[in-house]
Amino acid sequence: MTETELATKAPESDAQPAAVADDVPTSSSHPTLGEHCTSDRPTPVGQASTGEITKFGDVNVYISKPADYPHTPSKLLLLLTGGTGLNSINNQIQADRYASEGYVVVMPDLFDGDPAPNSSTISDEPTTPGSLLDMFKIKAAETAKSFLIDMWLARHTEEKVMPILHKVMDACRDEFADAVSNGGGIYAVGYCFGGRYILLLGAERTTAPLGRGFPWSAMSPAPVDEEAAQLTSSGPFIKAGAVAHATLVSTDDFTGLKVPISMVSVENDPLFPDEVRIAGEDYMSKNNVEHEVQVYPGVPHGFAVVGEYDDQNIKDAQATAFEQMLKWIKEH
């Protein structure tokens, strides 16, 4: 990570805007995820997933196809999830919604069977501490979970996730060659944790020969030795991408970005700070990267992921965000 500060706290309920506790560290050397990145909202009543989990090589993937595929031509869409991962019913329903719009959707297990600690469904019942002891217990539980998330993030770095993505994309080009060809490449959407990887897949980045470090950021210094001259550029690996409330993003992650990008952002989101978003917009504008950025007020981080909310404004924003992302990939 770079020196961009990343906050560690997400909203506790539907209507609350994102907030950061005063005593929560915000160092880039101590990044973590918010509650809405590691927990699902209740699944919408009457909805269930319709795709299937299979393996592409040694990677588990959830695949959802249009009802009339392969008789009707489709395009290939890679969907990258937040911390709740492959087995989240909400994430699966999200994939199904894109499939119903004509995409063969492949949702890989980014975490190799290790979703975020304490992944669960957020209760609709508000928690009101009844005593100082209750408050202490809640704070202790939050601290423990934060520690577990830190340890989990240390296990799921760019060096671990990117090879998984390349394996899956290689398999897609074989298994669904018709859909990749029909779309002229692979489209991709990402939520929370997965959002950052849309930026990385959409960039031209510097890589080392023979797997010496995978890969260096375009902003990272190359090693000073006789092999430095052999560094090559690779990517982008996707045709176009859409990102919803990404987390763990630094300003450097925009460097080398080449493909059209749509961004769904949350107003005053500590998990995707305004300074990072604005720097990203400036980079894309200066480098003629086609993009759109929509900032949604009055919604919590994670709102664009399938899940039930009591607040109608959040429900409406969730539907609008899906339409924004879908429209973008359809137009590109």
Rounded to whole angstroms, the Cα distance separating 133 from 139 reads: 10
- Strands (E) in the chain, as ranges, are 39-40, 52-56, 59-64, 75-80, 103-108, 120-121, 187-191, 205-207, 232-234, 240-244, 261-266, 291-296
Report how far residue 30's alpha carbon sits from residue 225's, in angstroms, rounded to the nearest whole number: 31
Indicate the residue type of 217.
S
φ and ψ of 167, to 5 deg: -60, -45
**Does residue 149 lie within any of the structural domains?**
yes
What gap in Å lies between CA 116 and CA 152, rounded to an integer?
7
Q: What residue type is assigned to position 263 of the chain?
A: M
Separation of alpha carbons 332 and 53, rounded Å: 28
Token pair listed for 187: 């489209």
Please state, as a whole number, how many other Cβ atoms lie within 10 Å of the Cβ of residue 93: 20
User: Does 11 have pLDDT greater than 80?
Assistant: no
Q: What is the span of the domain harbouring residue 326?
A: 35-221+228-331
pLDDT higher for 134 or 238? 238
pTM recorded for the entire structure: 0.80
| Separation of alpha carbons 136 and 254, rounded Å | 40
- 151-160 pLDDT, tens digit per residue, is 888 888 999 9
CA 294/CA 311 separation, integer angstroms: 20
> What are the C-alpha distances in Å from 210 to residues 171, 207, 216, 234, 262?
21, 9, 13, 14, 34
Using an 8 Å Cβ cutoff, are 196 and 6 in contact? no
* Distance (Å, whole) CA 226 – CA 314: 55
- Provide the pLDDT for residue 174: 96
Report yes or no on 146 lying in a domain: yes
Residue 203 clears pLDDT 80, i.e. is over it: yes
**Identity at 199, one-letter amino acid code:** L
Q: Express as a percent the part of the chain with pLDDT over 90.
A: 64
Element housing 317 (H / E):
helix 312-331
Average pLDDT over residues 124-142: 49
Residue 297 confidence (pLDDT): 97
Predicted local distance difference test score (pLDDT) of residue 201: 97
Cα 228–231–232 angle (5° rounding)? 170
State mean pLDDT over 202-206.
89
Residue 42 belongs to some domain of the structure: yes
Domain count, the chain: 1
For 297, phi and psi rounded to 5 degrees?
-85, 155
Report pLDDT for 182: 97
* pLDDT at residue 64 tops 80: yes
pLDDT for 208-231, tens place per residue? 554 444 444 444 444 444 455 566
In a domain, 121, yes or no: yes
Write out pLDDT tens, residues 21-62.
333 333 333 445 667 677 889 999 999 999 999 999 899 999
Beta carbons within 8 Å of 330's beta carbon, 6+ residues apart: 101
pLDDT at 214: 46
Q: Are 241 and 201 a contacting pair, CB within 8 Å? A: yes
- CATH number, residue 308: 3.40.50.1820
- H or E element that contains 135: helix 132-155
Could you write out the DSSP letters of every residue in 161-185?
HHHHHHHHHHHHHHHTHHHHHHHTS
User: pLDDT tens for residues 166-201?
Assistant: 999 999 999 999 999 999 999 999 999 999 999 999
Q: Could you give the 3-state DSSP secondary structure of residue 103?
A: strand
- Structural domain contains residue 109: yes
Whether residue 9 is contained in a domain is answered as: no
pLDDT of residue 232: 72
Rounded CA separation 39/37 (Å): 6
Query: How much is the CA Rg of the chain, to the nearest whole Å?
Result: 19
| Cβ(195)–Cβ(243) below 8 Å | yes
230 or 311, which is more confident? 311
- In a domain, residue 7? The reply is no
Is residue 24 situated within a structural domain? Answer: no
For the chain, give the mean pLDDT: 81
The larger pLDDT score, comparing residue 125 to residue 319, is at 319
**Per mean pLDDT, which range of 28-42, 61-75, 103-117, 279-293 is the poorest?**
28-42
pLDDT confidence of residue 227: 52
Given a cut of 90, whether residue 87 has pLDDT beyond it is: yes
Calpha distance 60→106 (Å, rounded): 10
Under a CB-based contact definition with an 8 Å cutoff, are residues 317 and 299 in contact? yes
